[in-house]
Amino acid sequence: AQRVTQPEKLLSVFKGAPVELKCNYSYSGSPELFWYVQYSRQRLQLLLRHISRESIKGFTADLNKGETSFHLKKPFAQEEDSAMYYCALPNAGGTSYGKLTFGQGTILTVHP
Amino acid sequence: DAMVIQNPRYQVTQFGKPVTLSCSQTLNHNVMYWYQQKSSQAPKLLFHYYDKDFNNEADTPDNFQSRRPNTSFCFLDIRSPGLGDAAMYLCATSRWGQETQYFGPGTRLLVL
């Protein structure tokens, strides 16, 4: 069964410091992975997906198949980055196509 | 703007009194999802529709039902809410073949 693990429930950094939110996955095929973000009192929204290989709001994430990881990184954290971050893995194939398996989430707090 | 809308944003019901939450979308997506999200936890998928095909998660209680009368609307019915059903309920949509899900703002359910 596929699984997504975010080992850190809480992560605190100071403004301007680098930040890395960890995500590890268990999946038997070639995964497509996402990071979703939920800012305070806002809807859950897609931050980035690995297939796009893009940087959104200064965040990047690289898929490492050897380590089965998809860590989210930003070199200089900003206060507005404070939010709940979820790593997610979609099922592939059959009637479950597109169903997301979420990690438990990491609450990022960026202090001034 | 095309979007996912959930009404009401807050719903209060009494223990055992049936309640219906609604979701509508203007994205014309053929897949719609209902998630339950309890405080500081990841969203948990209850069920999803691919067009009119209903797919229930194995661990979704029978107390939870859903209806999708047309492409735009989907309803979550809780037949006899218990105190443990108090949570945020999220609706999401996606287009079959594209894993990105678009979330509504959620309905927070309080059971008295």
Q: Contacts of residue A46 in chain B, CB cutoff 8 Å?
A: 100-102
- Cβ-count burial B46-84 (b if 16+ within 10 Å, e if not): bbbbbeeeebeeeebeeebbbebeebbebbbebeebeee
State whether the Cα torsion A3-B52-B108-A84 is positive or negative.
Answer: positive
Q: Which residues contact B14 (CB under 8 A, 6 or more apart)?
A: B81, B111, B112
* Per-residue confidence band for A93, with pLDDT thresholds at 50, 70 and 90: low
Residue contact B41–A96, C-beta within 8 A: no
Taking a C-beta distance cutoff of 8 angstroms, is the pair B100, A49 a contact? yes
* Per-residue confidence band for B49, with pLDDT thresholds at 50, 70 and 90: very high
- At A59, phi and psi to the nearest 5? -90, 145
pLDDT value at residue B87: 97
CA distance A101 to A89: 5
Give A36: exposed, middle or buried? Use CB within 10 Å, 0-12, 13-18, 19+. buried
Rounded to a whole number of angstroms, the distance from the CA of B47 to the nearest CA of chain A is 9
Long-range contacts of range A38-41, CB-CB < 8 Å, 24 or more positions apart? A38/A83, A38/A84, A38/A85, A38/A86, A39/A82, A39/A83, A40/A82, A40/A83
pLDDT value at residue A91: 75
* Per-residue confidence band for A111, with pLDDT thresholds at 50, 70 and 90: very high
Q: Dig out the tokens for A69 from the structure.
A: 């990881």
- The amino acid at residue B12 is V
Q: Contacts of residue B33 in chain A, CB cutoff 8 Å?
A: 99
